[in-house]
Amino acid sequence: VTYDEAVSTMERGLARFLPAQQAHHFAEIFAGNSLDGVYSHGMNRFPRYISDMEAGLCDASVLQAERVSGLGGLEVWDAHFGVGPLIAEQAAQRAVDLAKEHGIACVALRNNSHWLRAGRFGLMMADQGMMGLCMTNTCLNLVAYGAKVPSTGNNPICFAVPRKGGSLVMDMAVSQYAYGKLE
């Protein structure tokens, strides 16, 4: 399956929920993550996202977050469980804009649906000349040694640094590997 075929196919599925431009861009994110070799957070997540939209766990009508509060370079936004990667891109761009204005910024985004790959947003920041630190929470999916039930999440973390010749990005799980790789 070529990249263009993957985008086209997923775009048709997403068009049931999203306007054409957003459906196309979201399909590019899924396919782009897989194309970049991040199979754990690429096209394999597409069926789950469709299920989440059908079930109302992801509100496809919400394409922008709402600013809840802020002071200087610090802001809090609420995504209202909208389309995670599209909203996270906006939050990352907002952080870049605030950092350009204030020298440093922190944008907190709450109530977002799955944002797929943290490295995408860190790279976005670094490619604009900013250092980026991206983190999110997740469900309880890690079992401590000797325990029988999960007690903590495998929260991702991403560090991104701009540099000549290409930005440096470290995007990792806090366990041996990401939950998406188990799936």
Choosing from 24, 41, 80, 102, the catalytic residue is: 41
In order of 8, 11, 25, 32, 80, the CA distances from 1 in angstroms are: 11, 15, 18, 13, 34
- Is 41 noted as a catalytic residue in this protein? yes
Task: Find the distance separating the first CA and the last CA of the chain, reported in whole Å.
Answer: 21
Give the residue numbers annotated as catalytic, written as ranges: 41
